[in-house]
């Protein structure tokens, strides 16, 4: 089959990584999969025109019911959809968007949620279509760059300390946009850094929202102990994660954070904001640590510092959890079976 696959493909984001991985699964099953950025299209009519070209497409797939799924409403082909996080956590609260998402799910052959929690949330708002919703966690594969230089990475981020190996680097991995709330722990972290200068926070991720980016750059510039790194390739990012003391998530909402799962796979402790999407994959004090306020973030960070056994336990259990629940083979088989229903 020839499939059109629509997703939000901002460079070096979790959405792009997920879409590329699912495309590879589909192509490994012998299909042709044309992955396109949903931002390329202004209306469903444009997508309908594309799929009718010669040779025509046979089916379609989309990640995110509103941003990408709505663009499939005019096509006369079978299609499936994959929930993001924003569509169920945020977009369903807007009546106009929810109505569109209902229409998309009504026409779709199937829908995929990354967690049982996300499936349950979807069923609350989209109950009549519940039998179409399958659960398939994201498959995770990490790859560390062999040419990565930790010292160069920190110095290019603005860290001036001479012996950088002495530092305890907390790495906040996120695209710079409102839903990721990149400044959530910055103030309290800076106060903690002033008490113990060996603790530093480095924020890294693509600049997705120009307004938030300017805000973050301005705050970081005037805040001790907090730095902003230029985005890196996936392999370099994984290398930085591997070297840091802990990976931080401060999002307002998540579907399933690839950065959290990648950190776990790399054997790095995770400090995640206690929201449903994070709590679905981070079991507090077992596979990572959860916090619900900036002050609690510092408290949990201090626990990691003072209790090596805790740090070792959550890192070990996190890695085992990813190996058991987020394998690529199961994800590949699920999408192979679902795509077959689009014949």
Instruction: Identify the pLDDT of residue 312.
Output: 97
Query: What's the rounded Cα separation, in Å, for the pair 294 and 300?
Result: 10
Residue closest to 169 by CA, chosen among 158, 181, 182, 179: 158
Phi-psi label, residue 43: left if phi above 0, alpha if psi -120 to 50, beta otherwise: beta
Token readout for 284 is 């507090």
Instruction: Identify the pLDDT of residue 129.
Output: 66
CA 327 to chain centre: 16
Instruction: Identify the pLDDT of residue 36.
Output: 96
pLDDT digits (tens, 9 = 90+) for 307-337: 999 999 999 999 999 999 999 999 999 999 9
Residue closest to 120 by CA, chosen among 109, 130, 108, 112: 130
Instruction: Identify the pLDDT of residue 128.
Output: 66
Query: What's the rounded Cα separation, in Å, for the pair 221 and 259?
Result: 25
Q: Where in the chain is the domain with CATH 3.40.50.2000?
A: 2-139+327-340, 150-325
Measured from the Cβ of residue 4, the count of other Cβ atoms closer than 10 Å reads 23
* Residue that is written with structure tokens 């379609």 in the block: 60
207 close to 177: Cβ distance less than 8 angstroms:
no
* Residue that is written with structure tokens 């209902």 in the block: 102
| Below-70 pLDDT ranges, the chain | 12, 127-129
CATH number of 150-325: 3.40.50.2000
pLDDT digits (tens, 9 = 90+) for 274-310: 998 899 899 999 999 999 999 999 999 999 999 999 9
Beta carbons within 8 Å of 96's beta carbon, 6+ residues apart: none
**C-alpha torsion angle, residues 302, 305, 309, 311 (rounded to 10):** 90
Query: What's the rounded Cα separation, in Å, for the pair 251 and 181?
Result: 5
Residue closest to 339 by CA, chosen among 123, 75, 58, 7: 58
4-to-1, 63, 70, 110, 188 alpha-carbon distances in Å: 10, 11, 14, 15, 46
Instruction: Identify the pLDDT of residue 78.
Output: 97
In CATH terms, the superfamily for domain 2-139+327-340 is Glycogen Phosphorylase B; (3.40.50.2000)
Instruction: Identify the pLDDT of residue 125.
Output: 74
């Amino acid at each position: 089959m020839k499939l059109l696959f629509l997703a939000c493909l901002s460079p070096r984001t979790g959405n792009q990584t997920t879409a590329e991985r699912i495309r590879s699964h589909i192509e490994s099953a012998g299909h042709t999969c044309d992955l396109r950025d949903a931002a390329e299209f202004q209306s469903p009519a444009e997508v309908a025109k594309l799929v009718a070209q010669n040779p025509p497409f046979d089916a379609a797939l989309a990640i995110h019911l509103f941003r990408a799924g709505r663009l499939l409403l005019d096509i006369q082909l079978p299609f499936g959809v994959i929930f993001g996080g924003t569509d169920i956590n945020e977009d369903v609260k807007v009546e106009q968007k929810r109505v569109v998402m209902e229409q998309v799910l009504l026409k779709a052959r199937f829908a995929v949620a990354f967690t049982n929690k996300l499936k349950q949330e979807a069923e609350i708002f989209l109950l009549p279509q519940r039998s179409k919703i399958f659960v398939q966690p994201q498959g995770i594969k990490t790859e560390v760059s062999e040419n990565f230089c930790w010292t160069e990475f920190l110095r290019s981020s603005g860290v001036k300390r001479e012996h950088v190996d002495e530092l305890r680097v907390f790495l906040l991995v996120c695209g710079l946009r409102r839903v990721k709330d990149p400044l959530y722990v910055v103030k309290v972290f800076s106060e903690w850094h002033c008490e113990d200068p060996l603790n530093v926070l480095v924020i890294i991720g693509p600049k997705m929202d120009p307004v938030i980016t300017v805000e973050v750059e301005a705050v970081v510039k005037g805040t001790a102990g907090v730095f902003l790194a230029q985005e890196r390739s996936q392999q370099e990012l994984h290398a930085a994660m591997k070297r840091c003391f802990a990976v931080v998530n401060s999002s307002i909402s998540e579907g399933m954070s690839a950065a959290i799962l990648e950190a776990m796979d790399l054997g790095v402790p995770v400090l995640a904001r206690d929201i449903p999407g994070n709590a679905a994959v981070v079991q507090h004090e077992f596979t990572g640590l959860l916090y619900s306020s900036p002050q609690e973030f510092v408290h949990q960070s201090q626990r990691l510092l003072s209790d090596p056994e805790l740090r070792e336990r959550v890192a070990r259990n996190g890695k085992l959890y990813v190996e058991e629940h987020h394998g690529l083979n199961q994800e590949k088989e699920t999408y192979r079976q679902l795509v077959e229903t689009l014949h």
